[in-house]
Each structure stands twice: as C-alpha cells, then as structure tokens.
C-alpha cells in the first residue's frame, strides 16, 4: 500500500484565462495592430499559395476559411506569452465576466441584440450617402456572403465575431479600461470605448465597412464596459453578421446597396425612429447595471504568486 497518493492535476479549460494578465495601453494597442498586420500578410500568403497550388476559384471560395483565422494566430501567441509572463507578477482582468444587474441575463441579452441590430439599421444611411463601392470590394463582399451558406455562416457568423471580439473588446477595450499609467491614473471609459471602436473600424480596412463598424463598435464597447461579458458581445456581433448574411441571400435585398434602395424614404425614417427608441431604452436599462469599478465590470483575476 502506497503512502503517497498521486496529486490530481486540476485542468483549467477556460480559454480566455490565458489572456487575462496582458493589459495593453495605447502603446500596446499599436503593438497589437502591428501583429494584426503581420497576421494579415501571413493570411494573404496562405490564400495566395493555395491559389497557386490549386486554383484561384478555390482560393476565392474556400482558402479564406484557413486564411482568416491565420490573421489572428500571431496576435494570440503574442498576447498569451505576455499574459503568462505577467501572471506571476500582477493581477489580471477577465476577458469574460457576468454582470447583468437586477434585470437578469436574458433581458440584457435580448436588449443588447436588439440594440446592435437597430444600430446596424440606422447606420445603413452611410451606405446610401457614400459613393458606390469599387468593383473589387463589391465582388469581395459578395463572395463573403453568397455561395455555400454553411461555409459563409462559419466564417461570417462564427469566426469573425469570435476573433474580432476577442481582439477589439477582449484585448483592446479591456486593456484600455484597466491600464494604469505611471502616475496611477487610467483612461476615461468613454475614450476607451471610442478608441476601441475606432480600432474595430480600422481593421475593416475600407470606409464602406469602417463607418458602420465604428458606430456598432460603440454599442458593443458600452455593453462590454457594463457587463464585462465577451460572450455577449460575440453573440451580438454574430446576430448582426447573420442578419447581413440572410439579407445578402434574399432576392429582394441581395443587390441593394442600402435599405433606401428598397424602402420609401418615409418608411426608412419611421424605421430609424423605432430603432432609435429601442437603442435608447436598451442603453438606459443596461446603464443601470452597477459597476464594481469605475473602469468597468471586468472581474479581477489574481496573480499566480504561489508559483514563485
């Protein structure tokens, strides 16, 4: 009989925890942007290589299933490495927390989804105001939303919300909210939300997507600030993208550049008023969620000092 029992290793399957201890400031945000650009070049190299090895038609239809997540690989390796180093020295902040106030999770989730869809509808006015998209961009966006619906759903409704929310809210916004300057001060939450929304717009790389992305990013940032829930912003992002995917495959709407190509101006204006009322009520309700810190509701994750 052995006097020594093997110690059970407690496994932690929380993927987000691997990044909790890296808190970027403005300088760190530009470092992440650099890694994102490097990842984008790597993703383009992958898709270009597949086009040469197989065919350009294959690359246009399927290669970006591989190329898109490749864009974020270098970012995730870098932030995981930095987080692992910092975990021994200082507390971190959870990428995903659960603060939903007295209204409860389901009410906040429903209002958040309605708010982002309403914001998307109103921001569509910019598609009407802006000049027509260049043909190459129009063809690219069409290729992203039309064709094999299962593959498009995987990329547009699953991968894009996961990776983009991980970066723009989980890393950038969480970092800007919780980063402390050398004098102990921190950025005002409103500026953190605006800057993270601008970063979200920037990575879309063209003004036709960037302007609506900035406006939607403000809503996503506000919800993340109040709830701390990255899963919720991923769901909001997914619902918005899925709605766009659906309308891109309906005969009545797939060739329209904006809702004003389909609806009379008075109906669009009425829709905007209804959407504005939904956004106002949602923001007012979500704003009542109490904050555990002026920097938002990202839970503190204690440093692993026991490893020292």
Each residue's pLDDT expressed in tens, for the chain with a length of 308 residues: 444 444 443 444 467 778 999 999 899 999 999 999 999 899 888 777 777 777 666 666 667 778 888 899 999 999 999 999 888 878 899 999 999 999 999 999 999 999 999 999 999 888 888 888 778 777 777 777 776 778 888 888 999 999 999 999 999 999 999 998 777 778 999 999 999 999 999 998 888 889 999 999 999 999 999 999 999 999 999 999 999 888 888 877 777 778 888 889 999 999 999 999 999 999 999 999 999 989 999 999 887 654 44
Residue 206: its pLDDT value, please?
85
**Between the CA atoms of 191, 107, 272 and 193, what dihedral angle is there, to the nearest 10 degrees?**
10
The pLDDT assigned to 226 comes to: 97
User: Would 81 be classed as within a structural domain?
Assistant: no
Residue 26 lies in a domain: no
- Cα separation, 133 vs 138, whole angstroms: 6
Total count of domains within the chain:
1
Q: Tell me, what's the pLDDT at 209?
A: 86
> Radius of gyration of the chain from Cα atoms?
21
Please report whether residue 161 resides in a domain: yes
Q: How far is CA 37 from CA 31, 40, 201, 260, 295, in A?
A: 10, 5, 14, 35, 29
Supply the DSSP symbol for 103: T
66 within a domain of the structure (yes/no): no
Q: What is the pLDDT of residue 252?
A: 78
Would 308 be classed as within a structural domain? no
- Tell whether 262 is covered by a domain: yes
Q: What confidence score (pLDDT) does residue 150 get?
A: 84
Half-sphere CA count of 63, side-chain side, radius 13 A: 19
Residue 108: the pLDDT is 97
**pTM of the predicted model, to two decimals?**
0.89
Question: Which residues constitute the domain of residue 235?
Answer: 97-298
Residue 278: inside a domain: yes
Cα–Cα dist 85/20, whole Å = 11
- Confidence at residue 53, expressed as pLDDT on a 0 to 100 scale: 78
The verdict on residue 213 lying in a domain is yes
Residues 6 or more apart whose Cβ sits within 8 Å of residue 57: none
Q: What is the pLDDT of residue 61?
A: 64
């Amino acid at each position: 009989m052995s006097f020594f029992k093997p110690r059970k290793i407690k496994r932690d399957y929380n993927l987000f925890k691997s990044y909790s201890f890296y808190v970027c400031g403005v300088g760190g945000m530009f470092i992440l942007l650099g890694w994102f650009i490097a990842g984008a070049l790597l993703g383009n190299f992958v898709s270009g290589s597949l086009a040469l090895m197989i065919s350009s038609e294959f690359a246009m239809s399927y290669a970006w299933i591989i190329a898109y997540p490749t864009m974020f690989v270098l970012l995730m390796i870098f932030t995981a490495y930095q987080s692992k180093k910092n975990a021994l020295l200082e507390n971190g902040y959870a990428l995903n927390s659960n603060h939903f106030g007295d209204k409860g999770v389901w009410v906040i989730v429903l209002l958040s989804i309605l708010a982002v869809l309403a914001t998307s509808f109103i921001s569509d006015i910019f598609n009407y105001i802006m000049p027509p998209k260049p043909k190459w961009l129009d063809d690219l966006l069409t290729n992203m939303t039309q064709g094999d619906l299962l593959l498009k759903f995987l990329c547009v409704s699953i991968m894009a919300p996961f990776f983009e929310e991980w970066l723009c809210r989980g890393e950038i916004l969480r970092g800007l909210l919780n980063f402390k300057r050398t004098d102990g001060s921190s950025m005002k939450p409103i500026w953190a939300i605006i800057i993270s929304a601008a970063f979200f717009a920037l990575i879309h790389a063209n003004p036709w997507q960037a302007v609506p992305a900035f406006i939607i990013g403000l809503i996503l940032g506000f919800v993340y600030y109040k709830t701390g829930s990255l899963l919720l912003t991923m769901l909001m992002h997914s619902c918005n993208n899925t709605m766009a995917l659906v309308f891109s495959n309906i005969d009545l709407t797939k060739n329209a550049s904006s809702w004003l190509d389909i609806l009379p101006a008075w109906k669009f204006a009425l829709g905007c008023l209804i959407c504005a009322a939904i956004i106002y009520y949602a923001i007012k309700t979500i704003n009542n969620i109490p904050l555990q810190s002026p920097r938002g509701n990202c839970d503190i994750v204690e440093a692993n000092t026991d490893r020292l």
